[in-house]
Amino acid sequence: MKSTILLSAALFIGLQNVLLSCLASPQVIDGGEGHSLFVCIDKTVLSCGENTYGQLGDGTNINKTTPVVVTGLGGIIAAAAGYYHSLFLKNDGTVWVCGNNASGQLGDATNINKTTPVQVIGLSGITAVAGGYGHSIFLKNDGTVWACGGNGNGQLGDGSNTSKNTPVQVSGLSGITAVAAGGGHSIFLKNDGTVWTCGGNGSGQLGDGTNTDKNNPVQIQGLSGIIAVAGGFFYSLFLKNDGTAWTCGNNYDGQLGDGTDTNRWNPVQVTGLSGISAAAVGSDHSIFLKNDSTVWTCGRNGSGQLGDGTNSVRWNPVQVSGLIGIVAVAGGDDHSLFLKNDGTVWACGRNNSGQLGDGTNSGKSTPVQVSGLCTVSSLPVELLSFSEHFWNLLLQNNPASDGLLCTLIVPEYGLMQLEILDVSGKIVNIEQIQAIKGSNILKLDLSNIKSGMYFIKVFNEEKILMKKFLKE
Tens of pLDDT along 208-230? 999 999 999 999 999 988 988 99
C-beta separation of 78 from 97 below 8 A = no
Q: What value does the mean pLDDT of the chain take?
A: 88
Q: Is 385 a member of any domain?
A: no
364 and 406 both lie in a single domain: no
Tell me how far CA of residue 158 lies from CA of 94, 146, 203, 385, in angstroms.
22, 9, 22, 45
Closest CA to 450 of 426, 431, 470: 470
| Residues 252-304 pLDDT 10s | 999 999 999 999 999 999 999 998 988 999 999 999 998 888 999 999 999 99
Map residue 442 onto helix, strand or coil.
strand
| CA-CA-CA-CA dihedral for 332, 336, 342, 343, to nearest 10 | -20
Answer yes or no: is 375 within a domain.
Answer: no
| Local confidence band at 16 (pLDDT 50, 70, 90 cut-offs) | very low
- 181 and 136 Cβ atoms separated by less than 8 Å: yes
If you average pLDDT over residues 109-127, what whole number do you get? 96
For residue 8, the model assigns a pLDDT of 26
Residues 353 and 453 in one domain: no
Length of the chain: 472
Least confident of 59-63, 251-255, 320-324, 466-470: 466-470
Q: Which residue has the higher pLDDT, 162 or 403?
A: 162
Mean pLDDT of 172-179: 92
Separation CA 4–CA 380 (nearest Å): 18
Do 402 and 259 lie in a common domain?
Answer: no
pLDDT digits (tens, 9 = 90+) for 338-382: 998 788 999 999 999 999 999 999 999 999 999 999 888 754 332
**The total number of structural domains that make up the chain:** 2
CATH number reported for the structural domain that contains residue 37 in this entry: 2.130.10.30
Segments forming the whole domain that contains residue 357: 5-369
- The per-residue pLDDT for 211 is 97
Q: Is residue 425 part of a domain?
A: yes
